[in-house]
């Protein structure tokens, strides 16, 4: 299959380059890193072994890229207003679009932009950071969950999952609502708090007061998930996620954005799930307060992409 990747940050760069390294045809849309990658290649320092790729098919103009069988959207949701111009040239009648993005409600909004498009949620659990132009450091995790939103092409989804597995990416096909909410419960508890407390993930659970705060937010997220239809998510998920958080010594994506003065992903990570929960009769006051704290910070951040 022919793949396209929109966004060469930590997520798009890692998973896309894994596919390319395994022999798949992958076309990348890059902007700020385009000239560096063309001249110096794309470097990944991974716990699975480092690799440097000089032959990636990289573009700085989406209109020069071919239409593809699968398009991976890996840019931040704060940039989704650009999707009508970035995604349309890459589509053909049966293109599958995988949204490797954070949050709740992302697929619904993209489906409204592109009626009839086949969408899959790509939920990544990975410790990978961009350390410079065309350079990533992959420190841990890396497994990927693919969840069908409205695509319906099971054979193609199975083939994509197999391509990722062949590329050394542990990949599973999972239920949509449960997959989206499981990751967002983790994100809602850790992303905003690493900004609020100016700390790393593992530091959130290293003291009793912060651990109590994390657990309260996770339990509210679990209640919201069940109210919104993800009934298989149980209370035990909080302990599982706290254990994972304790092993994760890195800043969240929201903390990265905060530190670099970039827009934070408040809309889909907090505002939309909170609104969905309220719509289903579930109030989550601690998460609402954290959302308000983040919205108070947001006007001081840079605008744009």
Reading the chain (305 residues) residue by residue, the pLDDT tens digits are 999 999 999 999 999 999 999 999 999 999 889 999 999 999 999 999 999 999 899 999 999 999 999 999 999 999 999 999 999 999 999 999 999 999 999 999 999 999 999 999 999 999 898 999 999 999 988 999 999 999 999 999 999 999 999 999 999 999 999 999 999 999 999 999 999 999 888 899 888 999 999 999 999 999 999 999 999 999 999 999 999 888 777 779 999 899 989 999 999 999 999 999 999 999 999 999 999 999 998 866 554 43
State how far the Cα of 270 lies from the Cα of 188, in Å rounded to an integer.
7
| pLDDT score, position 247 | 77
In the numeric block, which tokens belong to residue 201? 């993930």
Residues 6+ apart with CB under 8 A from 41: 52, 53, 54, 56, 134
Whether this model's pTM surpasses 0.75? yes
Catalytic residue among 183, 196, 247, 302: 183
| pLDDT score, position 298 | 80
| pLDDT score, position 304 | 41
State how far the Cα of 60 lies from the Cα of 26, in Å rounded to an integer.
14
Phi, psi of 32, rounded to the nearest 5 degrees: -65, -30
State how far the Cα of 302 lies from the Cα of 257, in Å rounded to an integer.
10
**183 catalytic per annotation:** yes
Residues 250-279, buried b or exposed e (16+ Cβ, 10 A)?
bbbbbbbbbeeebbbbbbbbbbbbbebbee
State how far the Cα of 23 lies from the Cα of 45, in Å rounded to an integer.
19
- Nearest partner of 213 among 236, 235, 230, 197, judged by Cα: 197
């Amino acid at each position: 299959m022919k793949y396209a990747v929109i966004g060469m940050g930590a997520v798009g760069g890692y998973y896309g380059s894994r596919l390319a390294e395994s022999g798949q045809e992958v076309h990348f849309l890059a902007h700020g890193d385009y000239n560096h990658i063309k001249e110096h290649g794309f470097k990944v320092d991974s716990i699975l072994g480092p690799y440097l790729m000089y032959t990636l098919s990289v573009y700085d103009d989406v209109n020069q890229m071919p239409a593809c069988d699968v398009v991976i959207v890996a840019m931040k949701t704060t940039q989704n207003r650009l999707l009508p111009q970035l995604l349309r040239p890459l589509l053909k009648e049966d293109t599958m679009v995988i949204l490797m993005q954070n949050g709740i409600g992302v697929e619904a909004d993209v489906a409204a932009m592109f009626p009839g498009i086949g969408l899959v949620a790509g939920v990544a659990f990975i410790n990978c950071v961009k350390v410079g132009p065309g350079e990533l450091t992959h420190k841990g995790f890396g497994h990927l969950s693919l969840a069908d939103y409205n695509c319906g092409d099971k054979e193609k989804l199975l083939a994509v999952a197999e391509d990722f597995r062949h590329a050394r990416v542990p990949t599973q096909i999972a239920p949509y609502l449960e997959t989206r909410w499981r990751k967002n419960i983790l994100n809602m508890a850790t992303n905003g708090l690493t900004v609020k407390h100016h700390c790393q993930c593992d530091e959130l659970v290293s003291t009793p007061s912060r651990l109590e705060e994390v657990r309260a937010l996770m339990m509210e997220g679990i209640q919201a998930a069940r109210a919104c239809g993800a009934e298989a998510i149980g209370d035990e998920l909080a302990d599982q996620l706290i254990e994972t958080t304790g092993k994760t010594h890195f800043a969240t994506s929201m903390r990265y954005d905060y530190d670099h003065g970039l827009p934070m992903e408040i809309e889909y990570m907090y505002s939309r799930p909170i609104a969905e929960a309220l719509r289903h009769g579930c109030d989550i006051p601690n998460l609402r307060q954290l959302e308000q704290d983040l919205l108070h910070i947001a006007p001081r951040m840079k605008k744009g992409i």
